Amino acid sequence: MKPPAFAYHDPQTVEEACQLMSTLDNARLLAGGQSMMPMLNMRFVMPDHLVDLGRVSALSAIEERPGALRIGAMTRQRDLEYSPLVRARCPLLADAIQWVGHRQTRNRGTIGGSLCQLDPSAELPSVCAALDATLTVQSARGTRTLAFADFPAGYMTPSIEPDELLTHVELPDWPAGHGHGFVEFARRHGDYAVVLAAALLAVDAAGRITRASVTLGGIGPAPVRVGAVEQALVGQVASATLFRGATEACRSIEAMEDVHAPASYRQQLAVVMSRRALEAALASIGSPASSTGAAAH
Amino acid sequence: MTQKMAITLDVNGTGHEIRVEPRKTLCDALRADCGLTGTNVGCEHGVCGACTVLMDGVPVRSCLMFAVQAQGKALRTVEGLSTGGKLHALQQAFTDNHALQCGFCTSGFLMLAAGTLEQQPDIDDESLREVLSSNLCRCTGYQNILRAVRQVRDAGKAGAR
């Protein structure tokens, strides 16, 4: 249970980090370490070089951009949790962050680390899927941006090259007063979810849904946007009955099966969690972020 | 074996000049190189919380970071809680409420509770329960641990060191 030997690098700038990643063989990036350190301790990963981003201060910032919130990849989950800007501009993220690990792990864990780890049951990738986030990655070869929908290449595999690093993520605004809900079912609070759901709703003055986003985590190899549910909601007047009918579509999503739960159990959870997320979203319309979904544990 | 690095760890206000391999975790460096064995090493993969210490005032799991990453940070361990032979209010409350049996998890719980009460002296019962749920006690002393921490919170003694 001790990490393997490696050469340690602690660059101060993104450019230095990119330079290191472009020249070193078998190098891995270290962000907050809350998943990487267990993997090193258990020797699931054996890098020859570890490039620690902990001293690259330019990667830790929460900034307002026109139409979006821009978050540096090394921003600690704790800083997201306590940010008034996140609560005001991106309440879904404020809801979700309460579910990420525990206080000690949020003090170290980063948004970029979680996104690149890309665990299908993790909260932050599903938030990015729900919001149609845009990611920016950089290498010595240049910079590119990609939609979150194109980010997962497979189970726990982001579509970024070994010499690239995620620098920041942009979370597009939803209209002021929109509804947001985040719920999950886990065996214990702080564990990875068996199934989680994120929902966003915008409604007009008559209560008619003008825009909907429904995302499930923990069911497929990457977060799943449930287009069938979204389409069934738009144009309808929001209500518990509407949600109950629409979320039945989640039962036919192809689901993972593992030691924690069979596929049919996850499909059942997908129906229930997406309904609860929508109900929480509807209840939150017009009010700022609150912790939702406490019923799930 | 890789080249050792010379670093200084600031633990409980004292500088420890040590030489460690970069792969040495903070908890191992605290115990083996600084001689501070109050911090326990449990699961070594961030599940049990026994190795919790305070870094720049907030609780972190010292098995989930390397000693070289803690350079320039203010660390606090269980050895720093008592002052002048007098137990910290939390230590006294743990004793009074039988909040430990074997004691292996205790230093981690104490540092978690100390960091939490310093940040949120008026934390409510439900949040406290959630915070403490991050650490494992296999003697199942959870209720007594909760009781001890609540007692200190209610007495407003968290800052008294």
Q: DSSP readout, B3-18? A: --EEEEEEETTEEEEE
Within-domain flag for B147: yes
A190 Cα to chain B: minimum distance (Å): 7
A103 close to B (CB below 8 A): yes
Name the β-bridge partners of A288: none
Please measure the distance between the N-terminal and C-terminal CA atoms of chain B and give it in whole angstroms: 41
Do B104 and B128 lie in one domain? The reply is yes
Q: What is the CATH number of the domain that holds B149?
A: 1.10.150.120
Q: Which segments within A19-172 are labelled E, that is strand?
A: 27-30, 49-52, 62-65, 68-72, 134-139, 142-147, 152-154, 157-158, 165-172
Supply φ then ψ for residue A7, to 5 degrees.
-90, 135
Q: With CB atoms and an 8 Å threshold, state whether A105 touches B49.
A: no
CA distances B96 to B24, B90, B100, B147, Å, are: 36, 10, 10, 10
Q: Give the Cα separation of A39 and B70 in Å (integer).
A: 20
Within-domain flag for B44: yes
Residue finishing a domain among B20, B46, B80: B80
Enclosing H/E stretch for A3: none
Nearest CA in chain A to B134: A102
pLDDT of the residue at A288: 54
Q: What is the ipTM of this complex?
A: 0.92
Q: Give the Cα separation of B64 and A64 in Å (integer).
A: 32
Q: Supply B59's token pair.
A: 């609780």
Q: Using one digit for the tens of pLDDT, what is the confidence trace for B131-151? A: 999 999 999 889 999 999 999
Supply φ then ψ for residue B59, to 5 degrees.
-70, 135
Question: To the nearest whole number, what is the mean pLDDT of chain A?
Answer: 94
pLDDT of the residue at A292: 42
Q: How confident is the model at residue A297 (pLDDT cuts 50, 70, 90)?
A: very low
Q: How confident is the model at residue A188 (pLDDT cuts 50, 70, 90)?
A: confident
pLDDT of the residue at B148: 97
Do B113 and B137 lie in one domain? The reply is yes
SS3 labels along B26-53? HHHHHHHHCCCCCCCCCCCCCCCCCCEE
Do B69 and B93 lie in one domain? The reply is no
Cβ-nearest to A34 among B46, B52, B133: B46
CB contacts of B58 in chain A (<8 Å) are: 78, 107
A297 close to B (CB below 8 A): no
Q: Give the Cα separation of A144 and B68 in Å (integer).
A: 32
Q: Give the Cα separation of B64 and A292 in Å (integer).
A: 29
Q: What is the CATH number of domain A7-52?
A: 3.30.43.10
Q: Supply A99's token pair.
A: 């579910």
pLDDT of the residue at B2: 79
Residue with the bigger pLDDT between A191 and A8: it is A8
Do B55 and B104 lie in one domain? The reply is no
Task: Give mean pLDDT, residues B36-43.
Answer: 97
Task: Give mean pLDDT, residues A247-258.
Answer: 96
Name the β-bridge partners of B17: B8
- Domains: count for chain B: 2
Q: With CB atoms and an 8 Å threshold, state whether B133 touches A52.
A: no
Within-domain flag for B35: yes
Residue finishing a domain among B80, B109, B126: B80
DSSP state of A296: G
Q: What is the CATH number of domain A179-292?
A: 3.30.390.50
Q: Give the Cα separation of A86 and A82 in Å (integer).
A: 8
B157 Cα to chain A: minimum distance (Å): 22
Q: What is the CATH number of the domain that holds B29?
A: 3.10.20.30
A104 close to B (CB below 8 A): yes
Q: With CB atoms and an 8 Å threshold, state whether B45 touches A41.
A: yes
CB contacts of A48 in chain B (<8 Å) are: none
Nearest CA in chain A to B109: A104
Within-domain flag for B120: yes
Q: Give the Cα separation of B148 and B139 in Å (integer).
A: 16
Cβ-nearest to A8 among B22, B28, B55: B22
Q: Supply B138's token pair.
A: 């296999």
Q: Give the Cα separation of A286 and A201 in Å (integer).
A: 11
Do B107 and B148 lie in one domain? The reply is yes
Task: Give mean pLDDT, residues A23-36.
Answer: 97
Residue finishing a domain among B41, B56, B80: B80
Within-domain flag for B135: yes
Cβ-nearest to A104 among B1, B44, B112: B112
Within-domain flag for B70: yes
Mutation for testing the A interface, residue in B3, B65, B126 having most A CBs under 10 Å: B65
pLDDT of the residue at A294: 36
A162 close to B (CB below 8 A): no
B89 Cα to chain A: minimum distance (Å): 22
Please measure the distance between the N-terminal and C-terminal CA atoms of chain A and give it in whole angstroms: 31
Q: Give the Cα separation of A73 and A80 in Å (integer).
A: 11
Do B68 and B100 lie in one domain? The reply is no
Nearest CA in chain B to A48: B2
Q: How do the domains of chain A map onto residue ranges?
A: 7-52, 179-292
CB contacts of B130 in chain A (<8 Å) are: 189
Mutation for testing the B interface, residue in A50, A102, A290, A291 having most B CBs under 10 Å: A102
Q: Give the Cα separation of A91 and A74 in Å (integer).
A: 20
Within-domain flag for B161: no
Q: Supply A216's token pair.
A: 């499930």
Q: Find the DSSP H helices in B8-160.
A: 26-28, 89-96, 106-119, 125-132, 142-155
CB contacts of B6 in chain A (<8 Å) are: none
What does A25-64 look like in DSSP terms, one character per residue?
SSEEEESS-TTHHHHHHTTS---SEEEE-TT-GGG--EEE
Those residues of chain B whose CB sits closer than 8 Å to some CB in chain A are 1-3, 5, 21-23, 25, 28, 44-46, 49, 52, 55, 58-61, 63-66, 68-69, 112, 116, 130-131, 133-134
- Domain residue limits at B29: 5-80
Within-domain flag for B160: no
Q: Using one digit for the tens of pLDDT, what is the confidence trace for A89-117? A: 999 999 999 999 999 999 999 999 999 99
A252 Cα to chain B: minimum distance (Å): 34
